[in-house]
């Protein structure tokens, strides 16, 4: 078996060979990838396209006290705490492709119940037309409970990205902006502080997008300040996402 680019032959049963096999219809077109790109470039009429994903877990931990001295002239010591505790917080996020506006929700678990509760947020924010949700293949996104819930919410339609193609989900670069605003250099004592930081960062991101005037500038806010040669794979995927943004005229 030979690679399309003329590289040395691969073993037919190898993993790399399986990744490049053509579509079932023999056309060489990836149907899932083509469908998602079509939602970006030519969305259905009167429909809203959103990208959704989860971030986390964000785990609060106990930090040592401020360095100081005791009354008898000894340094105050604190026992080292290697554990991070049982409290975990997941952040659900969705960005609307049309204008770059985002919604977030914090949850104590990543399961079908919280995912369904999260889907109600873009549904309420977009009361008219169908809602196409581009997301990954997490089990809670396609569980029996979620499928039954979707029967009562027919406007919401899922578009699952192919395995290994997370760069097709524009929520992924939005998380970079979120981490800088909400998590970088912060210390959280409990989930309530994480929820507060999430709300503040989401509002800050919305103000930046509005100030930019176009959602195309959303990518310029999220891209790293400089491009490193060592991360050529990540740069190429980011360039594809940027090209998609500018093609859409966001």
Q: What is the pLDDT of residues 184-235, one digit of tens each?
A: 777 788 889 999 999 999 988 877 776 665 444 444 444 444 444 444 334 3
Predicted confidence band of residue 78 (pLDDT cuts 50, 70, 90): low
Query: Which residue has better confidence, 202 or 73?
Result: 202
Count of beta carbons in the 10 Å neighbourhood of residue 207: 10
Question: pTM for the full model?
Answer: 0.68
Contact (Cβ atoms closer than 8 angstroms) between residue 158 and residue 142: yes
DSSP assignment of 3-45, as one string?
-TT-PPP--TTSHHHHHT---TTSS---HHHHHHHHHHHSPPT
Length of the chain: 250
Q: State the pLDDT at residue 186.
A: 77
111-115 long-range Cβ contacts below 8 angstroms, 24+ apart: 111/140, 112/140, 112/143, 112/145, 112/146, 112/149, 113/145, 114/90, 114/140, 115/140, 115/141, 115/146
- For residues 148 and 112, what is the distance between their CA atoms, to the nearest angstrom? 11
**CATH 1.20.1260.10 is the classification of domain 27-60+82-248:** no
| Residue 55 token pair | 């971030």
Query: Which residue has better confidence, 178 or 73?
Result: 178
Q: Which region holds residue 71: left if phi is over 0, alpha if psi is between -120 and 50, else beta?
A: alpha
Could you identify the residue written with the tokens 């919604």? 103
Instruction: Tell me which of 43-52, 63-72, 152-161 is least confident.
Output: 63-72
For residue 119, which phi and psi values (nearest 5 degrees)? Answer: -65, -25
Rounding to the nearest 10 degrees, give the CA dihedral for residues 155, 158, 159, 161: 160
Domain positions in the chain are 27-60+82-248
- Within a 13 Å sphere around the CA of 44, how many CA atoms are in the beta-carbon half? 13
Query: Which residue has better confidence, 248 or 92?
Result: 92
* Residues 88-118 pLDDT 10s: 899 999 999 888 889 999 999 899 999 999 9
Contact (Cβ atoms closer than 8 angstroms) between residue 201 and residue 106: no
Give CA separation, 34 vs 30, 160, 168, 230, in Å: 6, 12, 11, 29
């Amino acid at each position: 078996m030979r690679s399309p680019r003329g590289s040395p032959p691969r073993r037919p049963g190898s993993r790399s060979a399986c990744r490049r096999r053509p579509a079932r219809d023999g056309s060489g077109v990836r149907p899932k990838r083509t469908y998602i790109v079509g939602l970006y470039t030519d969305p259905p009429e009167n429909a809203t396209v959103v990208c959704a994903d989860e971030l986390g877990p964000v785990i609060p931990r106990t930090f040592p006290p401020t360095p100081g001295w005791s009354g008898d002239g000894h340094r105050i010591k604190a026992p080292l705490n290697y554990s991070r505790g049982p409290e975990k917080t997941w952040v659900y996020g969705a960005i609307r492709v049309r204008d770059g506006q985002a919604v977030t929700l914090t949850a104590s678990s990543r399961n079908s119940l919280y995912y369904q509760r999260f889907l109600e947020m873009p549904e309420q924010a977009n009361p008219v037309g169908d809602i196409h949700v581009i997301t990954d293949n997490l089990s809670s996104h396609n569980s029996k409970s979620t499928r039954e819930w979707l029967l009562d919410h027919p406007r919401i339609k899922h578009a699952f990205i192919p395995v290994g193609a997370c760069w097709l989900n524009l929520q992924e670069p939005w998380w970079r902006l979120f981490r800088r605003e909400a998590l970088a250099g912060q210390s959280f004592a409990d989930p309530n502080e994480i929820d507060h930081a999430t709300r503040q960062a989401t509002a800050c991101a919305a103000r930046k997008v509005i100030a930019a005037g176009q959602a195309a500038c959303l990518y310029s806010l999220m891209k790293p300040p400089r491009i490193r040669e060592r991360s050529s794979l990540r740069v190429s995927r980011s360039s594809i996402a940027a090209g998609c943004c500018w093609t859409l005229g966001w």
